[in-house]
Amino acid sequence: MSKRFVIVGLGLIGGSMALALKGFEDFEIVGVDVSEPTLRFAREHGVADAVTNRAREAVEGADVVMLALHPQGILDFLEEHRDSFKAGCLVTDVCGVKSAVMEGAKCLPPQVDFIGCHPMAGTEFSGVEHAFAEMFQGSHLILTPREDSTEEHLELLERLARHIGCQDVVRTTPGQHDAILAYTSQMMHIIAVSVCDDPSLFACKGYEGSSFRGCTRVAALDVRLWTQLFSLNAPALVGCLDTLIGNLSAYREAIASGDREALAGKLAWSADRKRKMDLPGPDLLG
Amino acid sequence: MSKRFVIVGLGLIGGSMALALKGFEDFEIVGVDVSEPTLRFAREHGVADAVTNRAREAVEGADVVMLALHPQGILDFLEEHRDSFKAGCLVTDVCGVKSAVMEGAKCLPPQVDFIGCHPMAGTEFSGVEHAFAEMFQGSHLILTPREDSTEEHLELLERLARHIGCQDVVRTTPGQHDAILAYTSQMMHIIAVSVCDDPSLFACKGYEGSSFRGCTRVAALDVRLWTQLFSLNAPALVGCLDTLIGNLSAYREAIASGDREALAGKLAWSADRKRKMDLPGPDLLG
């Protein structure tokens, strides 16, 4: 008899997860959403094995429930459905802040496990119509287990990561996750929108190359989602922005001073740090 | 009888230009470089129809000379070879600052035309071994003609742009070019190195997604080249950085204030600007 894997929220990430999970062990993939157009699209395109707007029924029969909602939506869903999960069920999520979500999951009864999950993938679009099965290929999957999370559940999520094509699985604490993500993800979005706030934005069409496209791509963001992510991680993000503003100001001074040798030395130091990172960057040309 | 197109400097851009120019009308493509390893690589890989380290001889017989050197190298080459170009020759370049180069080109005799040229393409690597023919596909080619530049020469460069696959050709003034490029290109590089100056850089491996890779890709820059580009365009770049620091600080305040509604309004404004730009961004996933 097959087990049931319920994905709540068939947006960009939930829809892509459903597509990527096709054929995962003996799970039946069930998608839940409140939007009729989303359910119709998902049904017509075979995004999941079954789709429904009846969250409670779906959750009651689930072995795994993955909440692919905005952070506040996750907190609200946990609160509303805390007593619907069956004993032994694994509840997880996909969102970009972990402390607030892990805190919210404390409302679950003791026989329901919760492991925070954050697949580091996405695009600047939203909605099931932009979902695609390859989204997670080569990305990192971050897990923040509770102290009493079972090894069986952690291993299940590691097999899931392999199935959807993740590059690796990283286990960490919610606090560590949020501190690092403020830097690697949230700050990148604040940079992108800040660059687009420049009065010259529209004059620059025809003069932009790959560095501009790469830096500003994510500026066309999902406002509700990112307002929540920034707000739920405000202290860490503000700290990162202060560091960035300091580093930018130091470069500004080095350039304004006219001391080319000092500028070259500073650039060599930064460029060397980047090379030591040795990230497999996207091949961005043109 | 074929005409001669000389590319001085077979680095990443000069080498890619030579490869992309294969079969361009009836031009013989001649590559000039001072480095023996570069010339050997270019010869063995057929980067140009002919390669040589004898710049003066190559230039003397040239109908078009494209200087693919660092900015200071271009200024030095013009000064040294000003009397070697034949009458009617078109001299051009590929570099990312135009006022300084157009100023330097004033040393040329009146019968030699100079049109500033900037193909907006590149990667974070350097050297002929990273050159590839497709580099300019879909990029913008910017031209800054002199007042007395001939239409014949401008049309030649427009045909060149089509041959190497550029998306379009934009004609502008050196001052306008440098003002916009400070924003669209130079500032992107300062952002990238400033992000990499954060003490958390090395701790973030395993936690980076496409936004981080896209923003920091160009941090591993060619230090000599970018020191020159930043220094030769310092006032415009410092102005852009001041605007950016102001915009980042405004976001920092909006996040620190805890006023979610104000933050959402601000994000909606910026995201809407980005959508209106409607840039064909690189498809960056994972």
Residue of B nearest to A205 (CA): B277
Residue of B nearest to A219 (CA): B271
Cβ neighbours of A179 in B, within 8 Å = 200
pLDDT at A278: 72
Beta pairing partners, A7? A31, A66
- The domain spanning residue A242 has which CATH number? 1.10.3660.10
- Residues of chain A falling short of pLDDT 50: 281-286
Distance CA B14, CA B196 (A): 29
Residue with tokens 């409607």: B278
Same domain, A115 and A206: no
Strand ranges, E, within chain A? 3-8, 27-32, 50-52, 64-67, 90-93, 113-119, 140-145, 168-171
Q: How many domains does chain B have?
A: 2
Given a cut of 70, whether residue B140 has pLDDT beyond it is yes
Strand order in the sheet with A64-67: A50-52, A27-32, A3-8, A64-67, A90-93, A113-119, A140-145, A168-171
Same domain, B107 and B182: no
Residue of A nearest to B164 (CA): A286
Given a cut of 50, whether residue B166 has pLDDT beyond it is yes
Cβ neighbours of A123 in B, within 8 Å = 284-285
Same domain, B148 and B250: no
Could you tell me if residue B283 is inside a domain? no
Last residue of a domain, one of A133, A151, A171: A171
Same domain, B127 and B143: yes
CB pairs under 8 A between A and B: 335
Cβ neighbours of B134 in A, within 8 Å = 285
The pLDDT tens digits for B69-119 are: 999 999 999 999 999 999 999 999 999 999 999 999 999 999 999 999 999
Same domain, B113 and B145: yes
Last residue of a domain, one of B130, B151, B172: B172
Residue B109: CA count within 13 A, CB half-sphere: 11
| Cβ–Cβ gap A281/B245 under 8 Å | no
DSSP, collapsed to helix, strand or coil, labels residue A113 as strand
Amino acid found at B170:
V
Same domain, A58 and A184: no
- The domain spanning residue A58 has which CATH number? 3.40.50.720
Same domain, B193 and B96: no
pLDDT at A280: 57
pLDDT at B162: 98
Select from A203, A277, A286 the Cβ nearest to the Cβ of B137: A286
Which residue from A3, A62, A70 is spatially nearest to A34, judged by alpha carbons?
A: A70
Same domain, A66 and A198: no
Same domain, B60 and B162: yes
Given a cut of 60, whether residue B211 has pLDDT beyond it is yes
Same domain, B118 and B242: no
Distance CA A193, CA B269 (A): 9
| Cβ–Cβ gap A270/B244 under 8 Å | no
Could you tell me if residue B125 is inside a domain? yes
Same domain, A269 and A156: no
**Mean pLDDT of chain B, nearest integer:** 95
- Write out the residue range of the structural domain in which residue A45 sits: 3-171
Same domain, A29 and A48: yes
3-state SS track over B191-251: HHHHHHCCCCHHHHCCCCCHHHHHHHHHHCCCHHHHHHHHHHCHHHHHHHHHHHHHHHHHH
Query: What was the ipTM of the complex prediction?
Result: 0.90
Could you tell me if residue B88 is inside a domain? yes
The pLDDT tens digits for B250-283 are: 999 999 999 999 999 999 999 999 999 876 544 4
